[in-house]
Structure 1
Amino acid sequence: MADSSGEDLVDHGSATRRNARELLGSLLAPYTKLIAALAVIVVIENAARLSVPILVQFGIDHGIPPITHHHDAHDLLVIVAVLVGVVAVQAASRVTFLRQSGRIGELALLDLRRRVFRHFQKLDVTFHDKFTSGRVVSRSTNDVEAIQDMLENGFDSLLTAVLTLIGTAVLLVVLNVELGLICLISFPVLVALAWWFRNASRRTYREVRESAALVIVQFVETMTGIKAVQAYRREPRNQEIFEEVADRYRAINEKTFRLVAIFMPSVDLVGNIMTTVVLVYGGWRVLEGHMTVGVLTAFLLYLRMFFEPMQDITQFFNTFQSASSALEKLAAVLATQPGIADPEQPVQLGTVQGAVEFDNVQFSYVEGRPVLPGLDLHIPAGQTVALVGTTGAGKTTIAKLMARFYDPVSGAVRLDGTDLRDVDQPQLRRHVVMVTQENFMFEGTVADNIRFGKPEATDAEIRAAAEAVGADQFIGELPNGYDTDVAKRGGRLSAGQRQLVAFARAFLADPAVLILDEATSSLDIPSERLVQRALETVLADRTALIIAHRLSTVEVADRVLVLEHGRVLEDGSPADLIGSADGRYAALHRAWVESLA
């Protein structure tokens, strides 16, 4: 279930913020020249917009009087034509900016999504065991969307707001020094309000992102495990947990609204006070003949522009704080180094025979609690070895070390005499393949799932692999044969059919070493017999490690290891171990035979 402690990978220190800035910089770096051009376009757009009140003032003061006195509209028509041209420039600039900034934003986001997906795939099994699927979804959707909002709207709003503030402040003073200086008295108040809002909202918006992630985590985990939830009547408890995290999300969002509810009315109050002052004092100046109506009109228009950007700045703070928190989380994930790292100068294996050796291998998942206290094991090339023993004996750990999902704490696992840590993972994965009891099926056709073992495989190779393991018969009976959609997680196939597809996938990959982890544990007797026949084909001419509780699977092995607490208690062929009346394997075999009677 969701971990209410929050995000366990995010350090909110200066290093993480620096990483977030570097991440954003790297995303935008390819578009530096285009961004500079867009900045110029924004300046042009805002210059055009800021010139409108001046043109209105000229129209009132210099265009209308010739009409009233001489019936001459020439000056007004010129001003109107210039005004139309300015509006056209502003509109064209705006359209150009939106199109190009949107393109830059989407390309940067595409780059970010690719990086995140690529990095998540590189991270080791230990990371994915700890980092729940819900958080993965949150990183790749919720956090990316927050950055998208900033790229598409945030920077534009901020730049426009800053240019408007500076431009209107200068023009207010140019129009009338006395009134302009009076209006600028409000500027420190606005700065103080903005500074308060920025500091107050920084932590709040980070909590919003974390609370949103918890909601996603709880939802995804519950729906992913819905069968277990319903089977154990966990719906009420899961509902309580979800309502708790959802209510926390609501509460923190309400806090952000309270901040906005203080900030925006305060800005509006300052703006309205200054507008009243300008209207009263400016009106008196007009009546006294010290100011024209056009100047007062332009002044009021600029004063409105002066306070309008504060709303944009508020929105930018909202967007920026959310995006900053999202960037920090994504930067923290991208900065996470895989526990299973490739060597700087990997050894090239060449032709792999498949000999595997464990040399005094020690391993533990939790420090101080060894699973393998010191395993020495040699598996010659081409030999099939079965591991049996009680739960927790270390069978799956041995398999995962052989596949290099983990590295030993000490000692070495070798393939043809080469330490696996000296081999890069793409090369290792070509030669060592692990088939687990989950037999994960991806959405797509049967052919797609078989081709997963060899993406470049032809249709003929896929059919040959299916025929080799005996999967062609049931595939031929499917509605569309090899083109039948297996549905989500292979739901259209039975457990036995999924197992055969997994074997066909492994057969097509043609590894030198094949690891089968509880390959028949979920099968009924008829399906198991079908899979047993497929096993003989799959295991031929390759080194194999079989983990199984069903001894019918073990019978195909050349050699059996009986394990307990990470130590080998018995080692021999199935026939030899059965012949040892007092042995552990013989006892297991007798119990198995009795269970079949």
Structure 2
Amino acid sequence: MSDNTVQGVSGEERSSLTPEESARIRKRSLKLLGELVRPVRGRVILTMVVVILSTAAQVAGPALIAFGLNQALPAVLDQADWGPAFLAVGALLASGIVGAVLISWYTILSARVSQAILLDLRLRVFAHTQDLSLDFHESYTSGRIISRQTSDLDAIRELLDSGINQLVSGVLYMSFTAVAMVLLDPISALVIAIALIPLLLLGRWFQRRSQVLFRQQRVASAQTIVKFVETMTGIRAVKAFRARRRNEEEFGEKVENLRGINARVIGLFGIFDPGLILIANVSVAVIVLVGGLRVAGGAIAIGTLLAAVLYAKRFFDPVEDMAMFYNSYQSAAAALEKISGVLEEEPGVPAPQAPVALHTPRGHLEFRETTFGYGNGVEILPKFSLEIPAGQTIALVGATGAGKTTLAKLMSRFYDPTSGRVTLDGVDLRDLDDAHLRRAVVMVTQEAYLFSGTIADNIALGNPDATREQIIEAARAVGADTFIEAMPAGFDTDVNKRGGRLSAGQRQLVSFARAFLADPAVLLLDEATASLDIPGERAVQNALQTLLASRTAVIIAHRLSTVAIADRVLVMEQGQIVEDDTPEALISGTGRFAKLHAAWRNSLV
């Protein structure tokens, strides 16, 4: 996995990066932006042409008014010639209509471009985060991932929907207006040029202060979202440990911090907006004063002065929008950096270069001098070797941290070994086609995660192409059909969020039906009965007899009642197998498992 600076490049962390790292991040973000724009570049070019034409139509208005007052009106009064007047009015109406139509067209085109880019980006982020390995998701908090798909994409949407519109139309409008003023009245244009000096100073002041505040605002907003998401996700722990008051205090601090930053942002605009209005009004007043004296002296016509005043007022209109663009740009740039950082992440479990198909897996597993350690560098499995014949059921027991779940994760290829090999029917899992691996090896965990939808939908996750009859048969095979048919809508009962409508035992039976429907050659059960009560465990034990038949099975269990159905028991300590035999042989001995079994029997008494 890549450096942490790649994942979090906004806020205070951004300022701690070296110039080389900042340049690399900007380059990465620009590359992503180019990839997103490339498929819609034709529409982007058309949009630019339309906005140029619409801006030209809008800017033509004051010049046409000047023509009407300077040429058309005297022609009517002096010569009774209405031609120039009709021409001026017609041209003014035409420019207004054309401008309105083109603005409407531009709005639609730009919206389609932005939505196409956002659709592409959303799909990329979703698909890539699914492809990333388990190590990424175990280190990258759920709140941060949600923030990538929500607030970060919203920031980019805001920039694409309105920010770029404001910048492009504002720059074009100011440029066209400046050109029109120079052609119409150079002296008034000189007044505007002089006004640009305090305008640029004010803009620079706003830019430097807003850059800091907007960055703090984004960081505070993200921290608030992360705290909220993590609290709601862990609401059971919050209630169990009476952490409500502490969470309220911590969340209140983050919200208060965000409120204070927002207040400072508002104060910033409280200075910028009046300053902008003052510069605009002073400029118009100077143009009116100088122009009025020149009109009185006959140097320019009244229509020219009126057009100059209109241009001067309009010249400053886009400035505030362009300043707001800077806010949108800062937010979107930081968001794009974070999203590009996620998209840059490489899966810790890469797809095979030349995938090997395994159409009829038998389930023969083997570890060959396998070593493995997580990202912290601690070695969990030192030179581990193990062979599991096809069709054999083994049980893994041992203290927490002995390496049992690590073995299961390696067998399902959630991780790759640091060295050595893990093979299925003689094929290294790193070379096995991913689709074939997922069909051959299925893992059922203690959590028994159910997705929103019906019970039938959740069972069908094991085989999306299964028929209704196959789904019912899978439930019947593991004994889940009895409680399902007693539900209000049977198999069409909605399980609610995470299966909240079902008990722990019922959720586990549904997950077993899902695994039965998948029909894997290798089934991994990681503490599958740990959260169940005695009646629930008995129901699951009965289901296991059917589920494990004629397939390779690896059962990780602390409850030794589950071990009785195994052909072979492996006792693990510190990443090594210290005992390996049938349950009966180990129970009758004097080793580690015999002591564990005796302690378990005494606990039942």
What's the TM-score bracket when you normalise by the shorter of the two chains?
Answer: over 0.9
- Work out whether residues 66 and 73 of structure 1, in 8 Å CA contact, stay in contact via their aligned partners in 2: yes
Alignment partners' CA distance in 1, 2:53 and 2:122: 33
Q: Which residue does the alignment assign to 2:119?
A: 110
3-state SS of paired residue (1:442): coil
Q: Is there any run of 5+ residues in structure 1 with no aligned partner, and where? A: none
1:172 and 2:181 correspond: yes
1:115-194 → structure 2 map (5 Å cutoff): 115-194=124-203
Alignment partners' CA distance in 2, 1:53 and 1:369: 75
> Residue 332 of structure 1: which of 329, 341, 345 is its match?
341
Q: Which residue does the alignment assign to 1:417?
A: 426
Alignment partners' CA distance in 1, 2:108 and 2:376: 55
1:470 and 2:479 correspond: yes
Alignment partners' CA distance in 1, 2:337 and 2:371: 36
Q: Which residue does the alignment assign to 1:23?
A: 32
Which amino acid in structure 2 is aligned with residue 558 of structure 1? D
1:509 and 2:518 correspond: yes
1:374 and 2:407 correspond: no
Deviation at 1:505, TM superposition (A): 0.3
Q: Which residue does the alignment assign to 1:218?
A: 227
Which amino acid in structure 1 is aligned with residue 372 of structure 2? F
Deviation at 1:19, TM superposition (A): 1.5
- Work out whether residues 359 and 436 of structure 2, in 8 Å CA contact, stay in contact via their aligned partners in 1: no
Which amino acid in structure 2 is aligned with residue 474 of structure 1? F
Q: Which residue does the alignment assign to 1:247?
A: 256
> Residue 301 of structure 1: which of 310, 313, 324 is its match?
310
Q: Which residue does the alignment assign to 1:445?
A: 454
Q: Which residue does the alignment assign to 2:593?
A: 585
1:43 and 2:52 correspond: yes
Q: Which residue does the alignment assign to 1:90?
A: 99
> Residue 571 of structure 1: which of 573, 580, 586 is its match?
580
TM-score (norm 1): 0.95
Aligned residues: 592
Deviation at 1:319, TM superposition (A): 1.0
- Work out whether residues 7 and 341 of structure 2, in 8 Å CA contact, stay in contact via their aligned partners in 1: no
Q: Which residue does the alignment assign to 2:289?
A: 280
Q: Which residue does the alignment assign to 2:19?
A: none
> Residue 321 of structure 1: which of 306, 325, 330 is its match?
330
- Work out whether residues 6 and 341 of structure 2, in 8 Å CA contact, stay in contact via their aligned partners in 1: no
Q: Which residue does the alignment assign to 1:536?
A: 545
3-state SS of paired residue (2:39): helix
Q: Which residue does the alignment assign to 2:397?
A: 388
Alignment partners' CA distance in 1, 2:291 and 2:436: 80
Deviation at 1:245, TM superposition (A): 2.0
The share of aligned pairs that are identical, in percent, is 49
Alignment partners' CA distance in 2, 1:347 and 1:7: 33
Deviation at 1:221, TM superposition (A): 0.6
Q: Which residue does the alignment assign to 2:17?
A: none
Q: After superposing the two structures, state which structure 1 stretch, 95-104 or 174-183, moved more.
A: 174-183
User: Considering only aligned residues, what root-mean-square deviation do their CA atoms show, in Å?
Assistant: 1.9
Alignment partners' CA distance in 1, 2:564 and 2:210: 66
Deviation at 1:351, TM superposition (A): 2.2
Deviation at 1:368, TM superposition (A): 4.9
Alignment partners' CA distance in 1, 2:454 and 2:178: 65
3-state SS of paired residue (2:357): coil
Q: After superposing the two structures, state which structure 1 stretch, 80-89 or 497-506, moved more.
A: 80-89
Which amino acid in structure 1 is aligned with residue 497 of structure 2? K
Alignment partners' CA distance in 2, 1:95 and 1:489: 45
Q: Which residue does the alignment assign to 1:354?
A: 363
- Work out whether residues 439 and 502 of structure 1, in 8 Å CA contact, stay in contact via their aligned partners in 2: yes
- Work out whether residues 154 and 319 of structure 1, in 8 Å CA contact, stay in contact via their aligned partners in 2: yes
Q: Is there any run of 5+ residues in structure 2 with no aligned partner, and where? A: 15-21
Alignment partners' CA distance in 1, 2:200 and 2:291: 25
Alignment partners' CA distance in 1, 2:7 and 2:357: 40
Cα 1:222/1:180, change in 2 over 3 Å: same
Which amino acid in structure 2 is aligned with residue 393 of structure 1? A
Alignment partners' CA distance in 2, 1:183 and 1:53: 16
Deviation at 1:78, TM superposition (A): 3.0
1:79 and 2:91 correspond: no
3-state SS of paired residue (2:462): coil
- Work out whether residues 7 and 342 of structure 2, in 8 Å CA contact, stay in contact via their aligned partners in 1: no
- Work out whether residues 505 and 540 of structure 2, in 8 Å CA contact, stay in contact via their aligned partners in 1: yes
Q: Which residue does the alignment assign to 1:64?
A: 73
Deviation at 1:230, TM superposition (A): 1.6
Alignment partners' CA distance in 2, 1:267 and 1:259: 12
- Work out whether residues 228 and 251 of structure 2, in 8 Å CA contact, stay in contact via their aligned partners in 1: yes
Which amino acid in structure 1 is aligned with residue 214 of structure 2? Y
Cα 1:368/1:97, change in 2 over 3 Å: closer
Alignment partners' CA distance in 1, 2:508 and 2:213: 49
CA deviation map 1:402-424 (0-9, x unaligned): 11111222222111122212224
Deviation >6 Å, runs of 4+: none
- Work out whether residues 7 and 210 of structure 1, in 8 Å CA contact, stay in contact via their aligned partners in 2: no
Deviation at 1:594, TM superposition (A): 2.2
Cα 1:347/1:200, change in 2 over 3 Å: farther
TM-score (norm 2): 0.94
Cα 1:314/1:412, change in 2 over 3 Å: same
3-state SS of paired residue (1:516): strand
Deviation at 1:426, TM superposition (A): 2.7
